[in-house]
Structure 1
Amino acid sequence: METREQVKGIAARAALWSARHRALAILGWIAFVIGVTVLSGQLGTIEAKGSDQGHGDSGKADKIVEAAGFPVQPAGEMVIVQNRAGTDRTAAVSDVTKALKKTANVIDVQPPVQSPDKRSSLVTFSISGDPETASDRVQPSLDAVAAVQAKHTDLYVAQGGSASGDKLIGEDLEKGLTQLGILSIPVTLGILLVAFGAVVAALLPVALAIMAVMAAMGLLAFASRLAPTVDTTAHVMLLVGLAVGVDYCLFYIRRERDERRNGADPHRALVIAAQTSGRSIWISGLTVIVAMAGMFLTYDTTFVSFAVGTILVVATTVLGSLTVLPALLSALGDKVDAVKIPGLYRKNSEGRMWNGFLRLVLAKPLISAVLAVGALAALAAPALDLKTKGEGIEDLSPDAPIVQAYLAVEKAFPSEISPAEVVVQSPGAGFEQKVTSFRAAVEKSGGRLAGPVDVELNPAGTVAVVSVGLVDEKALDLLREDVAPAAFGPGALVTGEAAGSADFNARLNASLPWVFGFVLGLAFLLLLVSFRSVVVALTGVVLNLLSVAAAYGMLVWVFQYGHFEDQLGFRAADGITNWMPLFLFVILFGLSTDYHVFVLSRIREGHDRGLSTRQAVREGIGRTAGVITSAAVVMVAVFALFATLPMASTKQLGIGLAAAVLLDATIIRAVLLPAVMAMLGEKNWWLPRWLGWLPQIAHEPPQQAPAAEGRHRELTTVS
């Protein structure tokens, strides 16, 4: 039987089964996607609570406060009236107070407070009702404050707060993410139309990628029972799912089309595509999943949610690519090239430009490698200056009115913007005296801690929360190590935005070596087993690290050094968003492996047929250059859309991913990889004798056996 003797591996067997039972495979896939989507809607997705996302002392404090039963506080808002031209602001403050007291949904308007420098006044109030939906009721107060500003043009009058922030920024961000999801699909389809030159072939990858993402999001509802999800996970899943889904289908369809144009019958073309590209998809998917699994080692709720979501979407995409895609190709036959686009449809996927460039690289491999490494080193050099910082209001668009208001309040009233909170359990007798001692220590802090000091007890009187403002970066350490323990004892825990950010950074720093070691180690092992070569596995890891380093360097050059500020709509900061380096490493290492496995499989295929290493490199890279370019353009276009969102972190994500993929598909895969492999020659395939027990995995297409002709005719007929 041909299936046992010549067709080996999970990918090939899955493809042949799907081709023989294509109706069952196609309908089963559709039923699977619809089924998990409907069931997830009925089941619902469990979302992580704020207290689930903390670390260290701040995480413990948040859980204590949540369990203490504090009454739900209404959404707080504030209006700053600032004197910037030497004029009197008394009338404006009075107008703000009167207007707010007459405004719908406004409660608890407090008397104005003056800043220490006597240049600003602050009026605080709350929005009635559920704080989670306060953004729906904040507009009347925004209108009232805008009217006062219009009346007093010589002063700065602006409103900020949780409700107005959610409305003015949250809505913009959600709108941007929604538009990104909608735009990414037509952009991807447009690029694939150019790449394939045929409508049906271009539609298949997009349709399968979307269905895989839908199914994975449905499965996420079930997985959230074990690991609660965060709201941004769905957007990350769309990003990764569209990237790998299109890539996998692109590789598979391109190989099947090429074999058909080389004269293979439908069955033979499908077998070759399954044995080669299908196998690459299988290995690549495993490696990407391993990379994503590294995020589990952070023990952070957000990263764990990202890991679960991306693993689900990659696994679902691999499943669809190895089952329903072969079934569809078997059913369509040559109709996969239906609706050809004049001027774009080509008979093969080999690019003359890339082949000409490759000949130049292989003619001078040492010079090419030196130039490539030099270019990557220059791009990566700024990464030596990489610093990280927590996300803050300054990371949003500097032109947003809410951002300007927050920054003005933060400068004039540091205790009003995200104050630190000291959580004290069992305050008991003498607590008032301790608070008095704490206030005295705040006044003696040299201006690092700022009042007013506010105290709140839970209804049972078992937990107290003492709030105080942090003026500079060292204030948190002073509060945690000296002031709070001295006043309330060693059991006092400090939380708040600054404390939470510091604890998150500490958790990330502790987990970085484990994540990097896990991802690099397992990726090396997977490549070693797949290609039976220590050199190939080591080269793959090093090349992927070079693309990541170059991406880090470009992030620093743009977002720390301040290039393209006006074009991208941000202001340079003293660091990159703290979670960005780890997240980019995991995502980029996984996605870079896609290209590496695909290209190396084609090179190994030629080598196994008896070609020299240099000839195998020329043939393998030459024949994959077109599809790699198409896949990279899709990824770069989709990732670049993230740079249009209002937050600095999303801009960093988009620029980092797009730049790394572009460099990976050009300098690394088209120059450095062939140059290094050409110089190493047969040493590329070195494997120590003591590793000879590793399984032999065939990379070359299966040979057509005469005994299988009847089976060929049978499958050709049903095709």
Structure 2
Amino acid sequence: MLIRVAQFTTRFPRAILLGALAVALLCGIFGATAAAGLKSGGFVSADAESVRAAQQLTDNFDGAAPNYILLVESPDGVDAEPVRARALQVIDIVRAHPDTDSVQSYWTAPSPAVASVLRSTDGESGLIAVNFAGDETQIQEAAGELGEQITGTADGVTVRAGGTAATFHEVNDQITHDLAVAETAAIPLTLVVLILVFGSLIAASLPLLVGLFAIAATLAILKLFTLFTDVSIYAMNLTTALGLALAIDYSLFIVSRFREELAAGRDPRAATVRALQTAGRTVLFSAITVALSLSAMLVFDLYFLRSFAYSGVAVVIAAAVASIVVLPAALVLLGHRVNALDLRAPILRLFGREPKPLGAMVPEQTGWYRLVKRVMRAAVPVSVVIVALMLALGSPFLSVKFGYPDERVLPASAASRQVGDEVRAEFPRADPGGNTTIVLDGYRDERGVGAYAARLSEVDNITGVLSSAGVYVSGNRLAATPPGMTNDTGTYLTVNSRVDPFSPAGAEQLDALRAIDPPAPALFGGSAAVNEDSLDALADRLPLAGLLIVLSTFVVLFLFTGSLILPFKALLLNTLSLTAAFGAMVWIFQDGHLQGLLGFTAVGYLVPTMPILMFCLAFGLSMDYEVFLLSRIREEWLRRRAEHGGTESAAEANTEAVAVGVARTGRIFTAAAVLMAIVIGALTTSKVSFIQLMGLGLTLTVLADATLIRALLVPALMKLMGPLNWWAPKPLARLHDRIGFSEEPVDAPGATAEPPVRV
């Protein structure tokens, strides 16, 4: 297949490049508005109990589950006439909005009991609690429209917006801004590194151009998916970064092999065909591995993770196609001019050194070869030290805690974050994020409701329970019945707590509340219930996702290498590098180290979807470098066995194959890792904390994998295992011979004869 693709691209290079330019322009135009159709939620299954409880509250009890909070404050106090006038004006504007379902406020409360809940403890601020109808996209759009009209300071009265709807809106705006900043910073840095790697400005520009093509395709793909299914706004950051990073990775590998073949005496067309046969095949297997790792997220019933699977797989395909189809067309047209504009030559001549021909390499004369030889001479201590180091770095993950994200993922300067902080501090009974709501469908007996509320109020750290039978604290009824908590559809209760609903203490408290027998079937809603539902949904599907990744990766690597040992080793080493990254994420983002430097707020737990997303992505990216490395080691192993089998032992051939393979690819995969770290690491500049976590975690994983793992631990372990690296049972070896993919030499002008090579 790759030979036919190579022959096609080398025959019609100009037509392919013009077609690629047209596709890139169309994708850019179509995908320019991709962010508008993306959503901010997707952390909880649509049929979760907490979601059903919230829906019943919205449908049957006006104002019971507000998703938009307006904080009105003035040093003159909430009862001052200018404050009341401004609040009533805001309420009229909000009620006039077509998406407004219900409005409650301190100034229009139906009873003193409700008004006291919506008044701050210091008396300087009051709340307007709004419920918007519609899904996550509709409510955040409504928040954005109203925010422009009603927020701000006038005549000493300040109005700020918070709640779920405002948080979604601010997160969307922040992520769109962060993405533009990240790409603006990453692209020039990437070009600088590519010039250092390639020397030639022309060669350095090719991976970047392919990467820009992949970004345009990514935006169009995201836009297309929004027409058919829910796609998370957070996927936009990652898939554009991943598209650029993989496109650079793949084209870097192909361009390097093309220059190597030119230096070996092939003409441009033959060099292109051979580069696609070898490096192109490696890129194809790498893309399959990454795509399979990402597709495992389809098993989760959360569109936050599923959207990464949809868009991620599509982006991998786009990057691979651009590298295998578009890039070769450019290489054929450039030919030897790919080495033009050598920026290193003038600098080297300035220091009295003559530059070597670009693309030429004698592996045995490289620093990589000498390094690997030294590593293999001390294989046991190197292996022990690196494994111990990675396990030590990963040890903080043993104390990991998980929790649902709220407005604290935003910086302290965000309005919704400020409103959330003030509501938690000044409105202990009105915090919609900290309350647990219990819906008793069809139940209206006040005596039974009162007895249930009294028992609920006796749970540790519960500050009060509001019910249709009254307000209860520590088992005693202390206030009159708030209106509107019972109607023909049933009853709901609001349980106020002083603990963080997303913390382990919040989960324990929810379990204690659920352990109290309700007078009728009950649905639990609120933040603690949402958090538990989210964690349960992830835990139920996590083993299946992990199994799919392991099995699919194992099969692909077996088809690639014909060995059972190498896939098993790759799985273990990938897990080892991920363990270290996960430990670092707990130490930084959960425990709060470096929060001053990175500018996030540590809340004592991690967003539970992040480790899963990082695992799927980092596992695929680590396999990316494994495939790059094994391709050349395998090629050298088979060549040496064919040419020196009678004069060289299997152990010697294995050792030399590892050293030469790393020498030929070490510079490439290390450069690829640095480039990927620049592109993905740019996400660390985001002002949304778990996007920072993802960017930093993936960056550390990629860099550790390309240095400590691939450059040191892999050669050490391959030395210790010797010829066993290439072992497979005879039936599987015969199966691989039958269905494995081989690289056969192609007769083309300028090609040099060489034996068939199976890799």
Alignment TM-score > 0.5, same fold: yes
Mapping for residues 116-131 of structure 1, pairs under 5 Å? 122-125=125-128
How far apart in 2 are the matches of 1:574 and 1:146? Answer: 40
Compared CA separation, residues 70 and 15, structure 1 to 2 (3 A): farther
**Higher deviation after alignment, 511-520 or 190-199:** 190-199
Matched residue of 2:153: which SS? helix
Q: Does residue 646 in structure 1 map to residue 657 in structure 2?
A: no
Q: CA deviation at 1:602?
A: 0.4
Equivalent residue number for residue 717 of structure 1 = none
How far apart in 1 are the matches of 2:511 and 2:287? Answer: 44
Equivalent residue number for residue 359 of structure 2 = 348
Q: Does residue 392 in structure 1 map to residue 406 in structure 2?
A: yes
Q: CA deviation at 1:641?
A: 1.7
Q: CA deviation at 1:538?
A: 0.7
Q: Does residue 602 in structure 1 map to residue 598 in structure 2?
A: no
* Contact 1:241 1:314 survives alignment (8 Å): yes
Match of 2:510 among 473, 476, 482: 476
Q: Percent identity?
A: 27
Matched residue of 2:275: which SS? helix
* Contact 1:275 1:701 survives alignment (8 Å): yes
Q: Does residue 659 in structure 1 map to residue 700 in structure 2?
A: yes
* Contact 1:110 1:123 survives alignment (8 Å): yes
Q: Does residue 368 in structure 1 map to residue 360 in structure 2?
A: no
Equivalent residue number for residue 506 of structure 1 = 536
Compared CA separation, residues 575 and 197, structure 1 to 2 (3 A): same
Matched residue of 1:339: which SS? coil
Match of 1:134 among 137, 143, 150: 143
Deviations 1:462-488 (A, max 9, x none): 576654434331342344342xx614x
Compared CA separation, residues 29 and 424, structure 1 to 2 (3 A): farther
Equivalent residue number for residue 429 of structure 2 = 415
* Contact 1:349 1:623 survives alignment (8 Å): no
How far apart in 1 are the matches of 2:320 and 2:210? Answer: 10
Report the aligned-residue RMSD. 3.7
Equivalent residue number for residue 728 of structure 2 = 687
Equivalent residue number for residue 83 of structure 2 = 97
* Contact 2:265 2:750 survives alignment (8 Å): no
Equivalent residue number for residue 495 of structure 1 = 525
Match of 2:302 among 300, 319, 326: 300
Q: Which residue identity lines up with residue 78 of structure 1 in the other structure? A: L
* Contact 1:294 1:518 survives alignment (8 Å): yes
Q: CA deviation at 1:433?
A: 5.8
How far apart in 1 are the matches of 2:169 and 2:563? Answer: 56
* Contact 1:456 1:466 survives alignment (8 Å): no
* Contact 1:18 1:25 survives alignment (8 Å): yes
Equivalent residue number for residue 274 of structure 2 = 272
Q: CA deviation at 1:409?
A: 2.3
How far apart in 2 are the matches of 1:668 and 1:43? Answer: 38
Q: Which residue identity lines up with residue 731 of structure 2 in the other structure? A: W
How far apart in 2 are the matches of 1:67 and 1:96? Answer: 35
* Contact 2:41 2:304 survives alignment (8 Å): no
Match of 2:664 among 591, 598, 623: 623
Q: Which residue identity lines up with residue 471 of structure 1 in the other structure? A: R
Q: Does residue 587 in structure 1 map to residue 617 in structure 2?
A: yes
Matched residue of 1:549: which SS? helix
* Contact 1:609 1:700 survives alignment (8 Å): no
Deviations 1:421-469 (A, max 9, x none): 3345445xx36666555554454445515354577689x9657665443
Q: TM-score, normalised by structure 1?
A: 0.84
Matched residue of 1:209: which SS? helix
Q: CA deviation at 1:162?
A: 5.2
Equivalent residue number for residue 144 of structure 1 = 153
Mapping for residues 539-618 of structure 1, pairs under 5 Å? 539-610=569-640, 612-618=653-659
Mapping for residues 320-359 of structure 1, pairs under 5 Å? 320-342=322-344, 343=347, 347-348=358-359, 352-359=366-373
Compared CA separation, residues 332 and 461, structure 1 to 2 (3 A): farther
Compared CA separation, residues 145 and 677, structure 1 to 2 (3 A): farther
Matched residue of 2:331: which SS? helix
Mapping for residues 134-173 of structure 1, pairs under 5 Å? 134-138=143-147, 142-144=151-153, 147=156, 160-161=162-163, 165=167, 171-173=173-175
Matched residue of 1:101: which SS? helix
Q: CA deviation at 1:627?
A: 1.1
How far apart in 1 are the matches of 2:232 and 2:694? Answer: 17
Structure 1's unaligned 5+ residue stretches are 1-9, 82-88, 150-156, 713-719
Q: Which residue identity lines up with residue 378 of structure 1 in the other structure? A: A
Q: Which residue identity lines up with residue 539 of structure 1 in the other structure? A: K
Q: CA deviation at 1:308?
A: 0.5
Compared CA separation, residues 41 and 138, structure 1 to 2 (3 A): closer
Q: CA deviation at 1:499?
A: 1.4
How far apart in 2 are the matches of 1:176 and 1:139? Answer: 21
Match of 2:8 among 6, 12, 17: 17
State the number of aligned residues.
680
* Contact 2:10 2:329 survives alignment (8 Å): yes
Compared CA separation, residues 28 and 403, structure 1 to 2 (3 A): closer
Q: CA deviation at 1:24?
A: 3.8
Q: CA deviation at 1:224?
A: 4.5
* Contact 1:258 1:349 survives alignment (8 Å): yes
Compared CA separation, residues 686 and 616, structure 1 to 2 (3 A): same
Compared CA separation, residues 174 and 433, structure 1 to 2 (3 A): farther
How far apart in 1 are the matches of 2:537 and 2:416? Answer: 31
Deviations 1:489-531 (A, max 9, x none): 11x3122232112100111112221111110121011111210
* Contact 2:119 2:126 survives alignment (8 Å): no
Q: Which residue identity lines up with residue 61 of structure 1 in the other structure? A: A
* Contact 2:436 2:524 survives alignment (8 Å): yes
Equivalent residue number for residue 238 of structure 2 = 236
Equivalent residue number for residue 265 of structure 2 = 263
How far apart in 1 are the matches of 2:484 and 2:343? Answer: 69
Q: Which residue identity lines up with residue 6 of structure 2 in the other structure? A: A
Matched residue of 1:693: which SS? helix
Deviations 1:311-349 (A, max 9, x none): 001012112222121122112212223333244986238
How far apart in 1 are the matches of 2:723 and 2:225? Answer: 46
Q: CA deviation at 1:221?
A: 4.4
Q: Which residue identity lines up with residue 423 of structure 2 in the other structure? A: V
Q: CA deviation at 1:169?
A: 6.0
Compared CA separation, residues 140 and 24, structure 1 to 2 (3 A): closer
Q: Does residue 110 in structure 1 map to residue 106 in structure 2?
A: yes
**Higher deviation after alignment, 326-335 or 465-474:** 465-474
Match of 2:713 among 643, 648, 672: 672
Compared CA separation, residues 231 and 58, structure 1 to 2 (3 A): same
How far apart in 2 are the matches of 1:40 and 1:564? Answer: 36
**Higher deviation after alignment, 60-69 or 492-501:** 60-69
Compared CA separation, residues 279 and 67, structure 1 to 2 (3 A): farther
Match of 1:57 among 12, 34, 49: 49
**Higher deviation after alignment, 276-285 or 56-65:** 56-65
How far apart in 2 are the matches of 1:122 and 1:447? Answer: 25
How far apart in 1 are the matches of 2:169 and 2:312? Answer: 29
Q: CA deviation at 1:25?
A: 2.9
Equivalent residue number for residue 321 of structure 2 = 319
**Higher deviation after alignment, 342-351 or 466-475:** 342-351
Compared CA separation, residues 597 and 463, structure 1 to 2 (3 A): farther
Q: CA deviation at 1:93?
A: 6.0
